[in-house]
Structure 1
Amino acid sequence: MKTVYCIGELLIDFVAEKQGSNLSKAIDFTKKAGGAPANVACAIAKLGGNSSFIGTVGKDPFGTFLLDVLKDNGVNISFAQRTETFTTLAFVSLAEDGERDFVFSQGADQELDYDSKIGSLYKNNLVHFGAATAMLGGSLEETYRRYFDDAIAQNAFISFDPNFRIDLWKGNETTFIEKCIPFIEKSNLCKFSSEEAQLISGKSNLEDCCDYFHEMGVQVITITLGGEGTLLSTVSSKQTIGSIDVRPVDTTGAGDAFIGCLLRQVSTLENPHDIVKNLDQMIDFVKIANKAGAITTTGFGAIPSLPNYKEIFD
């Protein structure tokens, strides 16, 4: 089984549960581990895969808590860095249907330093880039780009998720799109929400979005559609693959669970690049990944709600 290296932010989600989607009305918050790439790393590890997290937290109790959570869930944290800057925080409020309102307080995640020794490890493995905060400047953005170049040079299987957050980019959406395009062009697999696909492509029809991204160079596209499942697209085929019925209480991390489960399955292949050649296998992988995403919405907090191996594969 290959290793999946997950690069990006690790942060604290302070979740205002059952208090509506308006953060200004929230009073009580519960501390949860979060950050899209970290969620993906945990999703892979909880399903019996090999994952390593590359990112930065502060030398504070919150940073210690976050690294402990990753380690307890089976993620390799030997490449994680710590800094004097305080750990990044996100405040999340939930509506009754599980939808979210976010506010970020940027911190340590922006200070990831490049380590030239890590890039050589990507050869014959998978690298996942989650971009929620990685395009916002600081040493993280430069390091992120250099690790992407390393992944290309090592012929790693590259996965990219833009993880668009409106409160981080409101009024600067064009800049976000411009920064995402080089990653989309060179990735083997891209995972989008429908809103992200439409925003970045400028198209309203999701199949047109897929055609736009394929023309840029990406081979496999997944667009998650919530309860409706996932649109899977290759250059020669497009189809929507249904999910299982659940009653969602918190959609935080559902997309991360999906892509984590998908990458966990791809990591079992002798050559992950061959996945594009086997449509039937890809469809089966997406069906299983849909299940992982759906199960995650039935609990509060992304990482605690991620399914384990028996829930998905037994």
Structure 2
Amino acid sequence: MKKVFCVGELLIDFVAENQGNDLSKAINFTKKAGGAPANVACAIAKLGGKGVFVGSVGQDPFGTFLLDTLKTEGVDISMAQTCSTFTTLAFVSLAEDGERDFVFSRGADRELVYDSALRKDFSGNMLHLGAATALLGGPLENAYGKYLFDALTREMFISFDPNFRGDLWKGNEQQFIKKCMPFIEKSHLCKFSKEEALLLSNTNNIQDACDVLHEVGTKIITITLGKEGTLVSYPTKREIVPSITVKAIDTTGAGDAFIGCLLYQISHLDKYEQVFNDVSLLVSMVEKANKAGAITTTKYGAIPALPSKSQLEN
């Protein structure tokens, strides 16, 4: 089984549950551990895989809470860093259908310093890059690019999720698109939401989006479509893989559960190139990953809702 190094943010989600999707009217918030790459590492670990988190939190009670949470879930936090900057916070509102609205207060996540010592552990393993805050400048963006280079030179399997957050890129969407392109070009697998695929490709439908994004360079595309399932795309073949029916109450972390479960399965392959040539193999993996994402929406919070291996097999 391969290790999956997940690089990016770890933060506090303050979630306004059952208070509509207007943060200006929310009164009560519940503290949750969050951050897309951290969620992915937890999703992998909860299934029995080897999730490694690479990111930065503050030397404060929230940072301690976050690292303790990951450790409890079985994530390897030996590569995590702490700094004097306060831990990053996100305020999240939930509508009745579980959809979310975000406001960020960015802090320690941007302070991740590149560590060349990781290179020795990269060979034969996998890298997942979650980009919610990683392309906003600072040491994290610098480290992000260097880890991509290291992964390429170590012939790792590379996964990229842009994790577009409109609140972070208002008026700068074109800059976001430009910064994502090198990662789409070099990654073996890209996971997009429908919104992200259309934005990054500057198209009006997901079929055209796939054509454009494959031309950029990525070999495999998955576009999550909520209750409709997931579009799996190769340059020459596409298929929508259905999901299971659930009553969603909180979609936070569903995409992270999906990609975490998919990477967990790929980590068990003798050679990751198998997924490039065997469509039926990837489809069966996506079926299970869809189930993981759906289960996650049935509870509040991302990490507590991530399924275990036994839940997926029931």
- Give the TM-score normalised by the residue count of structure 2: 0.99
Q: Offset of 1:236 from its aligned partner?
A: 1.8
Q: Stretches of 4+ moved more than 2 A in 1?
A: none
SS in 1 for 2:284: helix
Q: 2:74 matched to 1:74?
A: yes
Q: Look up the equivalent residue of 2:292 and give its one-letter code.
A: A
The aligned counterpart of 2:112 is 112
CA distance in 1, matches of 2:124, 2:279: 22
Q: Which residue of the partner structure matches residue 231 of structure 2?
A: 231
State the AA in 2 paired with 1:305: A
Q: What CA deviation, in whole Å up to 9, does each residue of 1:46-90 have, x standing for no partner?
A: 011111000000000000000000000000000000000000000
Rounded to whole Å, the distance in 2 between the matches of 1:294 and 1:254 is 7
Task: Give the aligned partner of residue 171 of structure 1.
Answer: 171
Identity of aligned residues (%): 63
Structure 2 letter corresponding to 1:151: A
State how far apart, in whole Å, the 1-side matches of 2:31 and 2:74 are. 20
Unaligned runs of 5+ in 1: none
Which residue pairs with 2:267 in the alignment?
267
Aligned equivalent of 1:215: 215
Q: CA deviation at 1:230?
A: 0.1
CA contact (8 A) 1:120 1:150 kept: no
Determine the C-alpha separation between the residues in 2 that align with 1:201 and 1:105. 29
Separation in 2, partners of 1:114, 1:254: 29
Read off the aligned partner of 2:83 and give its amino acid letter: T
> How far apart in 2 are the matches of 1:73 and 1:55?
16
Q: CA RMSD in A?
A: 0.6
Whether the 8 Å CA contact 1:12–1:31 is kept in 2: the answer is: yes
- For 1:161 and 1:119, the matched residues in 2 are separated by 21
Question: Residues of 1 paired with 2:155 and 2:273: CA distance?
Answer: 9
Q: How many residues align?
A: 314
Equivalent residue runs for 1:1-314 within 5 Å: 1-314=1-314
| 1:17–1:30 Cα contact (<8 Å) kept | yes
SS at match of 2:129: strand
Tell me the CA shift for residue 307 of structure 1: 0.2
Which amino acid is the alignment partner of residue 27 of structure 1? I
| Alpha-carbon shift at residue 122 of structure 1 (Å) | 1.4
Q: Secondary structure at the match of 1:248?
A: coil
Q: Could you tell me how far apart the structure 1 residues matched to 2:101 and 2:303 are?
A: 18
Unaligned runs of 5+ in 2: none
Report how far residue 119 of structure 1 moved. 2.0
